[in-house]
Chain A
Amino acid sequence: EAGVAQSPRYKIIEKRQSVAFWCNPISGHATLYWYQQILGQGPKLLIQFQNNGVVDDSQLPKDRFSAERLKGVDSTLKIQPAKLEDSAVYLCASRTQGYGYTFGSGTRLTVV
């Protein structure tokens, strides 16, 4: 079974620039999550999708972050404009049933 694919692996941008991350979940996994992991902290949920609908985006800073999951498969997370405090690893995870989460390797974002 192929894992959760994320790209890019690393990204360095200047503050106020925009950036986008891509996630391809495991085939057949209806639920997709984006987590933000700041250095020294645990992953924090940003948004949860069920198929192509948003289940929970209450912790997504909507003034600068947006996410979509077209056709219920791939997903993109965008930040515009980026701030220094957005420097983190952005993890995508997918789940089929129960608590069977599978995480991708993440995208490490550095905002300078």
Chain B
Amino acid sequence: QSALTQPASVSGSPGQSITISCTGTSNDVGSYNLVSWYQQYPDIAPKLMIYEGTKRPSGVSNRFSGSKSGNTASLTISGLQTEDEADYYCSSYTGSSTFPYVFGTGTKVTVL
């Protein structure tokens, strides 16, 4: 099972919107609305930001939103803030009983 493909880096200025893509296949992202997004600061455990493609856990800012088109899921951060500078990973259910999860390659978000 190959990792989902994310851009290595995305940057934006404060207040701008950025979008991170997560490209999989028809066997994972394309088949299930079970994509999650995680934010990770250096040396800190990842934190769930979006689940089931578009849902936000309680406490996560509504500046974070998720979407999907075909085999590609996306995370959009609107009104970019300095605190959003972190690594972001997507994950998808694959439907496989032996390998049910695959992570994305990760994207470093830089706030200019």
The answer to whether A and B belong to the same complex is no
Q: Which B residues are within 8 Å of any A CB, using their own CB?
A: none
